[in-house]
A and B are shown apart, each in its own frame.
Chain A
Amino acid sequence: MTIRITVLFVLLTGSSFSQTIEILSAEDTHYIKITPVHLTNDFLFFQSDELSDSIKIEEINSVIMIKNNDSPITIKAVLATGYFSLFYYMLEYMYKEAPFTIPQFAGVFSVFILTGTGAGIIYGKIINSYPKEKTSYDFSTMPVKEKYTILKQILTNNKASFHKTA
């Protein structure tokens, strides 16, 4: 039993950090949230609001990385236990009430879908309630080559640790 609990605990301790990237161009006044697609020596191609776009690297004035902090292990453990307990409660209740007619089956499926959807939204609300860590990279005075190197680092492993302004 001890081993089972330890393994479950270890499995739940694996953590991760999702991140979003925003850029500010030289001729603009507001940051745009982007999903990078392709980086060349001169251009960064990206997706923003479902549209494909691109920007010259020399025109990028600043890049902001927003990292969502991970929730504590205890919260994760409670959420995971609750999530799967709810699933098995519904499943066992369903099999007790079986067999079903086809319309009743539609109802059963709807219960699983709606509960799952609600669980996804609640999970997102809890996870997104933790403070976000913001890192800005000031590109305004940098040569293009250096901007490219930092962008490449951000896109490949996100460990760019220099030229931070905040």
Chain B
Amino acid sequence: MIKKLIICAVIGLLIGKTFAQQDYMYTRPGWLTFLKNIPGDMRDYTRNPFTKKNLWGLTAITVSTGLMIYYDDKLLDASNELSDQLGWSEQTNWRMEHIGDGYLQLYVASSLIGYGLYYNDNRALQSASQIFESVFAAGTIVQLLKHITGRESPFVATTPTGRWRFFPNQTDYHHRVPEFDAFPSGHISSITAMVVVLSENYPEYSFIKPLGYLAIGLNAIGMMNTGVHWMSDHPIGIALGYSFAKIAVKKGRTQIKTSTKTSPSFSIYPLFVSKDSFGIHISFTL
């Protein structure tokens, strides 16, 4: 009965057809725009979490990560039990793990580039650029944290919840990567970044969010079942992917305004009059 209700609810949410006009204007990005934007994204990211608006989010991530670290061994057992109950093979878990390893992001972004170039669609090109931008930016911070925290992955763990070696010897790190690179998860940050970019730029496709969140969840469970990550590696990974995707999307588009100007403003725009003539429109509103 509950299963039927869930199915009906999902159908109700998703089956409605959406007539959506783009509310944003997209300009064509350059080939290296995503790389050029990354330093600015880092700057914006370091400012954002510590604002009053994001305090609750930051607290939630910190508390949930702390609790999960405490119960990580039990959560890992629960994830393995779930896999056994559902009859997932090793190959299924492997496929779930690879949702976030970057190849899917490369594949999807390439498809957007192909579509965008062939059909002159700036929204598709911007989405591809934003996926690369947010995945690389989040990945940089993830790598920095991995190299600082030095946490063991579950499949090489020497303690029930994995040993932490803060500021490990970097030569040891590169010789025995799984012994140091569990925290946080880069896979989950890259799939989260892609899902957020696509759902923000294509809000009329109602399936992106539920399908994307499902993919994030499957990726998280898959990585636990293959022993590469603990549950507590995920919240910060998700937060990084989400935040950098939001920053990239904000930079990559301009909102179309449809308001009557009531506040004081000054603007200069080129004025299209007819086929052969043009002028300049200067507007000053009090």
Contact = CB atoms under 8 A, between A and B. Distances in A.
Interface of A: 3, 6-7, 10-19, 25, 27-30, 35-41, 43, 45, 47, 50-55, 59, 70, 83, 87-88, 91, 94, 109, 112-121, 123-124, 128, 152, 154-159
30 contacts: A6-B7, A10-B7, A10-B14, A16-B206, A17-B17, A25-B273, A27-B275, A36-B256, A37-B257, A38-B257, A38-B258, A39-B258, A40-B261, A50-B27, A50-B28, A53-B270, A53-B278, A54-B271, A83-B111, A88-B95, A112-B107, A112-B110, A118-B114, A119-B110, A119-B114, A120-B113, A120-B118, A124-B114, A124-B119, A155-B258
Given A10-B10, A10-B15, A15-B17, A116 B107 contact: yes
B110 to A, nearest CB: 3
Contact of A123 (B19, B104, B115, B205): B115
A112 B103 contact: yes
B11 interface: yes
B114 A120 contact: yes
B53 interface: no
B111 A120 contact: yes
Nearest to B204: A16
Contacts of B28: 50
Contacts of B21: 19, 154-158
A10 B12 CA distance: 9
A40 B262 CA distance: 10
Interface residues of B, number: 58
Nearest to A41: B260
Contact of A16 (B20, B114, B273): B20
A20 to B, nearest CB: 10
Most B Cβ at <10 Å: residue of A38, A43, A88 = A38
Contacts of A87: 103-104, 107
A120 to B, nearest CB: 3
Given A14-B14, A113-B106, 4 more contacts: A7-B10, A13-B15, A19-B21, A155-B256
Interface in B230-286: 254, 256-261, 269-275, 278, 281, 283
Contacts of A59: 273
